[in-house]
């Protein structure tokens, strides 16, 4: 897949570099590259070095991408050509940890291939967590001076919420080459062994004014006061509700129901009882939303039991 045109969207906004972060000249010792270099780079440690070549790269103490402002449906591939020079060596990779809250990282699909073989795939955040402890690239020792491509394929699904598509995230690699001679196991020892794992995503995310979140669905309890035909309708223009309901059903007090909520467009949802609009609520998180919130006009009321955001994360209880 060829990278898309960048005239309207910055596919790799502020590309922070594709380069070598480390090399090992012998088991247990390695040096970090500190000098920046455009269009690839290398690091020397004794007689061992790793060379990197790529179209858009900057060596600056790490291998990093900054991604943002992606169009839904966009996809592309970034390729690093990696070669261990001078001596046969094993080549290792690890990633950095994602932020605990990273909507774009949870939505962006990535696949890493080394020499055509899949190393890892999944969401960007899951790949970063999975490879944090390091992984061997290829099988055993590399041949000196023979480059092999590491491809980073990515795509943003068409059904990604608009608010997520405009978010920012990133990815950072670190490489280590370990000399094969004087190493007992053909695959060598993982130089990243013992790296603490990444924090797992939180069990829930807040929906408040500072979260930048948006509600995508909720489970409600109808509190009455009597049996009624209830509708939820998205408001798209003016003050009136949309004719196509988000939910419609006959309810008795204590009944529960689930409803999808608008992921884009106007965030106002009108509540109608027996076809008459009685109150509304907001789903953009500019107003608190989550389990425990009660929406009412003083007579009729709905209580939120569960809610999820546009990325599918559970929304925290509002206390």
Question: Tokens in use for 23?
Answer: 């090399």
What's the half-sphere exposure (Cβ side, CA atoms, 13 Å) at 53? Answer: 8
Assign residue 298 a region (left: φ > 0; alpha: ψ between -120 and 50; beta: otherwise): left
What is the structure's pLDDT at 184?
55
Neighbouring residues of 196: CB distance < 8 A, sequence distance ≥ 6: none
Distance CA 111, CA 164 (A): 20
The secondary structure of residue 262, as a DSSP letter, is -
Sheet strands (E) in 104-254: 109-114, 117-123, 135-137, 148-155, 168-179, 215-222, 228-234, 245-251
Using DSSP, state whether 183 is helix, strand or coil.
coil
Domain coordinates of the chain in residue numbers?
A: 22-179, 215-309
pLDDT digits (tens, 9 = 90+) for 33-92: 222 333 455 544 445 688 877 666 566 656 777 777 888 899 988 888 888 888 888 889
Distance CA 219, CA 231 (A): 14
Per-position pLDDT tens, the chain of length 319 = 333 332 222 223 222 223 333 443 333 222 222 223 334 555 444 456 888 776 665 666 567 777 778 888 999 888 888 888 888 888 899 999 998 878 889 889 999 999 999 999 999 999 999 999 999 999 888 888 899 999 999 999 988 877 677 788 888 888 888 888 755 555 668 899 999 999 888 888 888 776 667 898 999 999 999 999 999 998 776 555 444 579 999 999 999 999 988 877 778 899 999 999 999 999 988 888 999 999 999 999 999 999 998 777 899 998 8
pTM confidence score: 0.65
């Amino acid at each position: 897949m060829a990278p898309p045109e960048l005239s309207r969207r910055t596919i790799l906004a502020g590309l922070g570099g594709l380069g070598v972060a480390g090399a090992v000249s012998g088991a247990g010792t390695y040096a970090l590259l500190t000098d920046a270099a455009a269009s690839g780079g290398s690091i020397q440690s004794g007689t061992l070095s790793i060379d990197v070549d790529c179209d858009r790269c900057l060596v600056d103490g790490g291998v990093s991408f900054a991604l943002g402002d992606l169009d839904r449906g966009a996809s592309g591939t970034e390729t690093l050509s990696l070669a261990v020079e001078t001596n046969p060596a094993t080549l290792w990779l690890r990633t950095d940890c994602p932020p605990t809250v990273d909507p774009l990282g949870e939505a962006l699909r990535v696949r890493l291939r080394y020499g055509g073989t899949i190393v890892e795939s999944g969401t960007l955040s899951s790949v970063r967590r999975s490879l944090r402890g390091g992984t061997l690239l290829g099988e055993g020792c590399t041949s000196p001076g023979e480059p092999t491509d590491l491809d980073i394929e990515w795509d943003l699904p068409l059904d990604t919420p608009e608010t997520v598509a405009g978010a920012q995230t990133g990815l950072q690699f670190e490489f280590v080459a370990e000399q094969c001679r004087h190493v007992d196991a053909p695959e060598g020892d993982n130089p990243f062994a013992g790296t603490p794992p990444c924090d797992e995503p939180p069990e829930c995310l807040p929906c408040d004014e500072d979260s930048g979140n948006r509600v995508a669905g909720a489970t409600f309890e109808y509190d009455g006061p009597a049996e009624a035909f209830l509708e939820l309708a998205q408001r798209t223009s003016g003050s009136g509700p949309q004719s196509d309901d988000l939910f419609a059903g006959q309810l008795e007090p204590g009944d529960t129901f689930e409803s999808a909520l608008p992921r884009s467009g106007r965030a106002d949802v009108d509540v109608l009882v027996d076809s008459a609009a009685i109150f509304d609520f907001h789903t953009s998180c500019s107003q608190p939303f989550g389990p425990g919130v009660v929406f009412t006009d003083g007579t009729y009321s709905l209580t939120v039991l569960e809610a999820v955001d546009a990325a599918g994360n559970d929304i925290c209880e509002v206390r």
